[in-house]
Each structure stands twice: as C-alpha cells, then as structure tokens.
Amino acid sequence: MRKRIVAGNWKMNNTLDEGLALASEVVNMVNDEVTDDVMAILCTPFIHLAQVSKITAESDKVFLAAQNVSEHAAGAYTGDISVAMLKSVGATHVVLGHSERRAYHNETNAQLAARVDISLAGGLLPIFCCGEALETRESGKHEAFVTNQLKESLFHLTAEEMLKVVVAYEPIWAIGTGVTASTAQAQEMHKAIRAFLAEKYGDAVASEISILYGGSAKPSNAPELFSQPDVDGGLIGGAALKARDFVDIIKSY
C-alpha cells in the first residue's frame, strides 16, 4: 500500500529561530494529534537542517527534506550542497525539480536525472516535481509535457529505484495566477501520471508510487483533494508556514 505523505515546503522563509520554533510546534502537534498512518516531511532551507533534524528525531511520523542538491559529489561548486552533506545533518528526502528551480535557475530534465541518481545512490529519497504552466495547459499539451518530464528524468531508473521516488504534481498555472484548479483536474492529472508510470514499470509498481498534489492545498480543500483515488497527499507551500494549518492538512485523511 502506497504511503500517504504531506510535505511542507518552507521555500525561502524563516530565520533559524523562526524555523526551529515552527518545527517544534509541528512535531509536538503531530505527536499529540495525528493517529493515522501519514508521513509528514519538513522541507526546510539548508540553514535549518542540522538543528531541525534533532527536533524531527522526536517523532516517528515527521521526516526532513532539503530543497535541492547538487548533481556533483564534491568539488569546486561554490554555493552548491552535496548529498553527503545533507545526509550528515539528518535529511532523509530531497525536493528535486521544483517549478521555481526550473523557472528561476533553468534546471533541465537531464540535470535533474543526474540529481535523482546521486540522491538515490547516497540514500536520499527524491520528491520529484513536475508540472505545466498556463500556456501549456491552455494548449492542451499538459499531459504530454508532464509525462515528458517524467520520462527524461526518471525512466532510466530500475523498478526498485523508482519505488523510492515520490512524485509531486504542481499545476503551475493555478499557483498565484488567480486561476483555480478543481479537484477533478487534480485527479485527472494524477491518474494520467500513474498510467504513464504503469506503461513503463507495470501496474504493480505504479500502484505503489505516492503522487502528491502541489497546487496550493489548505485545510479547507485538503479533505476533498486527498479523497481522490490517485492523490496520495500534498506538497504544501504557504500553509506549511503555519503549524496549525499544516497539521490540520495532515489530519485531512
């Protein structure tokens, strides 16, 4: 049975003290309130990882992710960070290919494939992001665009490796644009992603891969979203910066 996951992406927010306070609130609330089998992941800026890992260690339901990693193991790559560095401070997961990284830093599918490989080899579990912009959605090419992202970055993996990857679908066109994605549209795309994974790896593997929704989920709409058969949780942005909202989303199952 595939895992139900709610990952909170802090993006470029929170000073160290603010982040530690938020992480403590989340972990305490999860320990006190969450009884269902749901995995929570805090995706923090690099400065928080070492100390937040000590907080997440107090819960068997809360894990820690970095927001990016280099495709290089070490060397003269100023400003980058390696898998070994992330592992050394307690990260268990890493977000790869977020729409903002693709847009602002021109990350390519080939580059992300290399980052997936080095992450898996080093024991970090990728949360691989995919998604389309508004013009792609309006052109009707959204499924082909997203499945190509998966093909070029993930389809070199073995089935065993693929089972370690979490996929996160981001409808970029519905984030900060004033356009709202419906629950039906979310389910439609998640179903298409799972079907595409099944074409490559078979139904047995595809049915075990968690696919998260990254389209501005919040406590008010998470229960409906998470009730969809192919939506296995969320990659949460703004709502992850408030402990009460984030934990209420975790409790939406």
pLDDT, tens digit (0-9, with 9 covering 90-100), for 197-249: 999 999 999 999 999 999 888 999 999 999 999 999 999 999 999 999 999 99
Taking the chain, what is the end-to-end CA distance rounded to the nearest angstrom? 15
pLDDT, tens digit (0-9, with 9 covering 90-100), for 155-174: 999 999 999 999 999 999 88
* Structure confidence at residue 1 (pLDDT): 83
Known catalytic membership, residue 138? no
* C-beta of residue 82 within 8 angstroms of C-beta of residue 69: yes
Please give the average per-residue pLDDT across 8-34, as a whole number.
Answer: 98
Residue 115: pLDDT band (50, 70, 90) is very high
* Structure confidence at residue 86 (pLDDT): 98
The residue type found at 87 is K
pLDDT at 180 > cutoff 80: no
* Structure confidence at residue 253 (pLDDT): 86
- Write down the pTM of the prediction: 0.97
Please give the average per-residue pLDDT across 113-142, as a whole number.
Answer: 96
- The catalytic position among 107, 132, 170, 190 is 170
d(CA 48, CA 43): 10
* Structure confidence at residue 175 (pLDDT): 82
Domains of the chain: 4-250 (3.20.20.70)
* Structure confidence at residue 215 (pLDDT): 86
* C-beta of residue 232 within 8 angstroms of C-beta of residue 224: no
pLDDT, tens digit (0-9, with 9 covering 90-100), for 68-107: 999 999 999 999 999 999 999 999 999 999 999 999 999 9
Residue 17: pLDDT band (50, 70, 90) is very high
Known catalytic membership, residue 161? no
d(CA 43, CA 68): 10
- The catalytic position among 48, 71, 93, 98 is 98
Please give the average per-residue pLDDT across 99-116, as a whole number.
Answer: 97
Please give the average per-residue pLDDT across 108-112, as a whole number.
Answer: 98
* Mean pLDDT computed over every residue of the chain: 96
* Structure confidence at residue 84 (pLDDT): 98
The 3-class secondary structure across 27-82, one letter per residue, is HHHHHHHCCCCEEEEEEECHHHHHHHHHHHCCCCCEEEEECCCCCCCCCCCCCCCC
The residue type found at 7 is A
